[in-house]
Amino acid sequence: MKKRITFFVASVSLVVLAFATINLGKLQAQTSAKSEGAITKIDFPSAPQKENRFKVGGLYYTFLDEAKGQVAVAPCSGLDDMYQNDIVIPETIKYAKKGESEKEYTVAAIGKAAFANCFNLTSVKIPQTVVTIGDVAFWGTNLEEIILPNSVEEIGNRCFKESIKLRNLHIGKGLKKIGVNLFDGCWNLQDIEVDPDNTILMSDNGILYDKAQTVVMRCPSFRKNVKKIELPSTVTKVARGAFEYCRYIEELVLNEGLKEIEGNAFYLCSALQTMKIPASVEKIEDGSAFILLAGCEKFDVDPANPHYSTLMNGRILFNKETKTMVSLLYTTDKATVTIPAEVEHIGAAAMMVILEGGMDEYYGGKGTEQVILPENLLSIGSYAFAGTNIGSIKVPDKVEEIPNGMVVDCKRLAFAAIGKGCKKIGFNVFEGCERLMNTRTGVIRCYAEVPPQMAQNSKGEYADFNEEVVKRTVLQVPEASVSQYMRANGWKDFIRTQKIEGQANEDVVAATLSIKTSKGMLTIVTTEEAPLCVYALDGTILYTTTDMQATVELPQGVYIVTYQ
């Protein structure tokens, strides 16, 4: 073996870190609305301003079509006038415009955001005249039950989102079109009932499917007694968020014949013990499908599946055609993770962690503290490491683009190294990285000799770095390129730009050796068995081993590590 010696200077200090709740928006993968048959057209006003609304009884309205005599329920006027208690929407109202005689109008719709964030609502009775319910109409309400009458033909996007107390939803036979992301944040949903005569939807054991039972659309999440679910043989797709928050399911049998799994499909199924992928699965949208499967020890992919397999004893779900790491299962273990060399691409949200209100107590500050990426890595997907517990990251030289939100909300991240081949920086890459914004610890090191360009969106807007990052974080760049970085778009905003000198503590990461410190402990991980020694500065040997992983408790000080 060729002799190798690595010198490491570490100040091992006893530090207790406080972790705040990570609150990330989920990847908004769009799902197609389902529709069938003719739908009564309702044109909502583009922006129902206060002057366009009028009040009759306890509700505000806006005109839809005066000639047809149609109105829609409109949002309240403000916090002092919020809808509350029991609301009964009338079928018709009588209203006289200024200078005109009184006319009768039909209540044909519930407008956009009509009841959004009305926390004190206890019930809303919807009349048989309502045909359409607009986007986010019931967002954030505390309603426990919603009954959609047979007259309702369309419900808009995110209609019930964040209705955290919603338990029962009844869908009438007339519904013909539904929007996307209807149930995001509906943690306490227990039952979905669909009229048997509905032409596009059905329910089976409280689970919402399309009429042909080919798409599983939503499983109620708050059913403590349901430990096992077996999908019908007809299912070909698990829709976005279908089993989101189903934290009591211990076994989920995905049927042979299933072809597609969309984003957030199994988010926070924390009691699920194994994630079995049938041979028939052809497409998995991204890693967000498997966020926080905290009780799941491994992926179990049918050996006959031509598209997917596993790595790292089942912990990594791997697309063997594209050589992409689709997902790395979450664990509270803080040990360093070395991504196998077979991985050439890390997919979107592959390690993403989303912590919502109250979850930080269970998951905050936990999980791997360091990820070592393979030198042959070619690309990284958006939000790949978002919200994780990593303290440092080194992007290999072959990766040409730092994607949107790559390490967003990684609150422990203090050091980020960007490889020589980087050409573009995405949006919101370092948002919420609190330690990176610390003037004593935060370092971004970019090895690219030419400053990478800032990404541009469809509106012509350019990405930039967080205001606190450019103010507090040290930017280290090649000595010959310092002047270029100080003139380049985005990079010139850094107050402290320096030439690269030596190795930072967090940068001692290579294909063969990883060293890190935490709370008075020195952790060393190698990839080969070889003599490893820890010395005091006076040459005294403090520790020696040939193990591939070692943890040593040391007092605060400076030490030398050799590995040969």
| 461-494 pLDDT, tens digit each | 999 999 999 999 999 999 999 999 999 999 999 9
What is the Cα–Cα distance from 554 to 95, expressed in whole angstroms?
80
Answer yes or no: are the C-beta atoms of 523 and 515 closer than 8 Å: yes
What is the rounded average pLDDT of the residues 224-252?
Answer: 95
- Give the per-residue pLDDT at 163: 92
Chain mean position to CA 86 = 35
Contact between 324 and 343 under an 8 Å Cβ cutoff? The reply is yes
Task: Give the pair of three-digit tokens for residue 105.
Answer: 């109008």
Residue 1 scores a pLDDT above 50: no
Q: What is the pLDDT of residue 474?
A: 93
**Cβ atoms within 10 Å of 362's Cβ, excluding its own:** 12
Within 13 A of 61's CA, how many CA atoms are on the CB side?
Answer: 27
Residue with the bigger pLDDT between 131 and 186: it is 131
Mean pLDDT for the chain? Answer: 86
Q: pLDDT-derived band of residue 545, with 50, 70 and 90 as boundaries? A: confident
Give me the pLDDT at residue 55, please.
94
Counting residues of the chain whose pLDDT is more than 90, the rounded percentage is 69
Q: Higher model confidence: residue 440 or residue 530?
A: 440
Token duo for residue 134:
């607009």
Lookup: tokens for 196: 């048997």
From residue 42, alpha-carbon distances to 152, 175, 310, 421 in Å are: 12, 14, 49, 52
Yes or no: say if 27 and 264 are a contact pair by the CB < 8 Å rule.
yes
Closest CA to 429 of 411, 409, 449: 409
Determine the distance from the C-alpha atom of residue 75 to the mean position of all C-alpha atoms in its chain, rounded to a whole number.
30
42 or 328: which leads in pLDDT: 328
Residue 392 CB partners (closer than 8 Å, separation 6+): 370, 413, 414, 415, 416, 417, 506, 507, 509, 516
| Residue of 194 and 29 predicted with greater confidence | 194
The pLDDT, as a whole number, for residue 51 is 59
Mean of the pLDDT values across residues 439-465?
93
In angstroms, rounded to a whole number, what is the distance separating the alpha carbons of residues 516 and 392? 10
pLDDT, position 423: 98
pLDDT band for position 328 (cuts 50, 70, 90)? very high
Among 105, 80, 90, which residue's Cα sits nearest to residue 59?
A: 90
Which residues touch 366 (CB under 8 Å, ≥6 apart)?
Answer: 332, 334, 389
Output the pLDDT for position 244. Answer: 92
The three-state (H, E, C) secondary structure of 139-157, written as one string: CCCCCCEEEECCCCCEECC
C-alpha–C-alpha distance, residues 169 and 138, integer Å? 12
User: What is the C-alpha separation between 292 and 415, in angstroms, rounded?
Assistant: 25
User: Does 503 score more than 50 pLDDT?
Assistant: no
Q: Which two tokens stand for residue 326?
A: 């689709």
pLDDT at residue 27 is higher than 70: no
Task: Give the residue among 256, 277, 282, 257 at the shortest CA–CA distance from 266.
Answer: 277
The CA–CA distances, whole Å, from 36 to 128, 198, 200, 513 equal 20, 11, 7, 59
pLDDT at 433: 94
Tell me how far apart the alpha carbons of residues 201 and 174 are, in angstroms, rounded to a whole number. 10
pLDDT at 554: 80
Per-residue pLDDT at 44: 54
Question: Higher model confidence: residue 63 or residue 38?
Answer: 63
* Mean pLDDT value of segment 167-172: 96
Residue 12 has what pLDDT?
38
- Quote the pLDDT of residue 196: 97
pLDDT band with cut points at 50, 70 and 90 for residue 365: confident
Give the Cα separation of 308 and 317 in Å (integer): 7
Residue range 140-162: mean pLDDT, rounded: 95
- Ordered DSSP codes for 363-423: HTT-S-SBEEPPTT--EE-TTTTTT---SEEE--TT--EE-TTTTTT-TT--EEEE-TT--
The CA distance from 197 to 409, in Å, is 47
DSSP SS3 for 181: coil
DSSP 226-272: --EEE--TT--EE-TTTTTT-TT--EEEPPTT--EE-TTTTTT-TT-
563 falls in which pLDDT band (50, 70, 90)? low
Separation CA 454–CA 446 (nearest Å): 14
Q: Is the pLDDT of residue 441 over 50?
A: yes
Is the pLDDT at 507 greater than 70, yes or no?
Answer: no
* Tokens read off for 382: 């958006």
Examine the pLDDT at 231 and tell me if it is beyond 90.
yes
Q: What is the pLDDT of residue 47?
A: 47
Q: Which two tokens stand for residue 4?
A: 């190798």
pLDDT beyond 70 at 29: no
Task: Output the pLDDT for position 113.
Answer: 95
Q: Is the pLDDT of residue 130 over 90?
A: yes
- What single DSSP character describes residue 52? G
